[in-house]
Amino acid sequence: MENIKGNSFDTSLMMEWVKDISSFGPRRAGSPAGHKNEDFLMGQLTNFGLEAVHKEPVPVVYRETQKAILEIDEGEGFKPLKAQWIPYSAYTPGQGIEGNLVYADPKKILQGGDWKGKIVLTDISFPVLDVKLLAKFSLGQYDPEGTTPDIKHPATWVRINWHFYKQAYKKGAIGFIGILKDQPGGSYRMYAPYGFKEKNILDKPLPGFWVSRNDGPKLRELAKKGDTRVRMIHTGEHKPKITNNIVGEIAGQNDEIVILHSHHDSPFKSPVEDASGCAVILALAKHFAEERDNKRKIIILFTAGHFYGSLGTRTFIQSHIKDIVPKVALEITIEHIAKEAVENDKGELVFSGQPEGTGIFVPFNKGMVNTVLESVKMNSVDRVFLLPPEGPLGNYPPTDGGDWYEAGVPLVNIISNPVYLLNEEDDLEWVMPERLSKVAGAVADIVRKTDAMSKESIGLVEFPGFKLKMKLIKHLVRMKTTRLGFRPTY
C-alpha cells in the first residue's frame, strides 16, 4: 500500500480505479460506456458494504455520431481538415452540406454581408484566469511555495464569441466553424459547450465544428475572400435514453446528511475529467464504510450528465427536494486531480512539475474556512485558494455541485481546471497520483471535523458584508465580459 505522510488512502488502488473507469472510453450520458461505468461504480459501493446502493434514472436524448468530416476546396477539390464536431450541434444529411466560407470578425461591432446559405467562421477566445485578482477575493490560501501568482491559464470552459453561432443561424447560415485560437497545445478536439449555463443544451440548430489555431490563419484569409467552398458531413442518430445517478448510503447516528459527490460522465476517456474525482469518492466511500464512526448519514453520489447541463445533479435535487435536501448539512464535490500543463517553446503541452491550482468553494463563515484550511494543510494539498460560493465566477461554483448552493445547501466544492480538461488529450499521464490520496485525506478530515459542528454553524453567513460585495463584483464581472448583450458560453 502506497501512502502519503501517514495518510491511510491507497494511491495505487485509486489509480487502478482511474484506469478502470477511463478504459470504458467516452462515458457520455446514455452511452454504452456510460452504463458500464455506472455498473462498475455500483459494484464497488456494494463491495464496500454500503447500504441502499441503487440507480436513479435520468432521461436524456442520446446522440451518437457516426460520421464527421469537414472538407475545404482551395481550387483543387475537397480535402479534409482536422476538426472536431461540436457537441449537440445539428446533423447534416448523409451527403453533407456545402457553402461558401464567410468570416465573422470579433473586432467588428456590426457584422455586415450576406450569410444566407453560407458557413460562418470565427475565432473562439478564452479569457485569462486572473489568479492575482481571484486572490483578492479569496477567503484563504495554502500556497507554501508561493507559486500560484505565476499561474496564467486561459479559462477554457468560457467561450467568448460563441454568440456568433446563434447569430449565424438567425442570418440564414447553414453551418458554423470555430477556431480555437487560445487553446494551449493547439488542440481542436474539444467537447464543448455542453450545457453548463445554456438554457437548452439541445438548441444548436446548425452543424458545427472546432478547428485548431494552427489552421486559423489560412482559414481566415480564405473566408475573407468569400468564394472558398466548404463541405460539412456530420451524421448520427439521436434517441431517448436513460442515464443514471448512482447512490449509496453509510448509516449515521442522526437524520442529518453529508453528501460526497462527483460526476461519472466524461467527454472522452478523460482520466482527469472525471475518473480522478470518482476515484477519490470511491476511496472515501470505502474508508467511511470501514470506519463507521460518522454521526451524520453519508450519501455517496455519482451524478450523470455533467456534460448534459449538469442534469444529474439538478434531477437529484429536484427529486429529493423534500426528503433529502432539507437534511443535508454539507455537500462536498470533488473534481479533477490534475497535473498542471504549460506550453513549451514548441507550443506543446508539458508538465510544469506542479499540481494544477485548485479552487475550494466554501461557506461564508470563519469556522468552515478554518476547518478546510486546517485539513488541506494537514494533508499537504497545496496551491489552493478558498473562494466564496458566489462572486467573480458566477452565481454558484462552476462545478457539478454548484446547484446545491442554489438550493440553499452549504457546500465545499473542490475543483481544478487544467487547460486540457475538455480535450481528448486528457490522458493518464495528467492525473497526479500522490494528490489523489492527499485530497481524499483532506476531505475525510473535513467530514470528521464538521461532524462535530451543528448544521446551523456550517451554513452560517458570518460575513454578510463580504457576501454583498461578492454579489456586486459578480455583476461587475458580468458587465465586463458581456459585449452588446452577448455573454460568454460556459
Whether residues 257 and 385 fall in one domain: yes
Whether residues 211 and 81 fall in one domain: yes
pLDDT at position 117:
96
pLDDT digits (tens, 9 = 90+) for 260-288: 999 999 999 999 999 999 999 999 999 99
- Does 481 fall in a domain? no
Whether residues 54 and 70 fall in one domain: no
Asked whether the beta carbons of 12 and 1 are under 8 A apart, the reply is yes
Show the cell assigned to 112.
455586415
CATH code of residue 333: 3.40.630.10
- Does 147 fall in a domain? no
pLDDT at position 479:
52
Whether residues 176 and 311 fall in one domain: no
* Residue ending a domain, choose from 209, 238, 267: 238
Whether residues 48 and 74 fall in one domain: no
Whether residues 270 and 360 fall in one domain: yes
- Does 488 fall in a domain? no
Whether residues 229 and 342 fall in one domain: no
Whether residues 95 and 232 fall in one domain: yes
Residues of the chain with pLDDT under 50: 1-6, 482-486
pLDDT at position 475:
57
Angle ∠(224,156,475) on CA atoms, nearest 5: 100
Instruction: Specify the amino acid at residue 120.
Output: V
Tell me the C-alpha to C-alpha distance, in Å, between residue 55 and each of 25, 41, 248, 300, 309. Answer: 21, 10, 9, 12, 19
* Residue ending a domain, choose from 238, 272, 289: 238
- Does 341 fall in a domain? yes
Whether residues 263 and 324 fall in one domain: yes
Of the candidates 261, 265, 256, the one whose C-alpha atom is nearest the C-alpha of residue 413 is: 261
- Does 145 fall in a domain? no
The total number of structural domains in the chain stands at 2
* Residue ending a domain, choose from 204, 238, 272: 238
Whether residues 53 and 197 fall in one domain: no
Q: Provide the domain limits for residue 381.
A: 11-62+240-473
Whether residues 231 and 312 fall in one domain: no
* Paired sense of beta strands 349-355 and 175-180, if any: unpaired
pLDDT at position 109:
77
pLDDT at position 490:
57
pTM above 0.85, yes or no: yes
Cβ-Cβ contacts under 8 Å for 432 (sequence gap 6 or more) = 337, 338, 339, 355, 356
Of the candidates 272, 271, 246, 270, the one whose C-alpha atom is nearest the C-alpha of residue 260 is: 246
- Does 148 fall in a domain? no
pLDDT at position 1:
31
- Does 420 fall in a domain? yes
CATH code of residue 207: 3.50.30.30
- Does 486 fall in a domain? no
Whether residues 315 and 168 fall in one domain: no
Phi, psi of 191 (to 5 degrees): -110, 90
d(CA 361, CA 364): 10
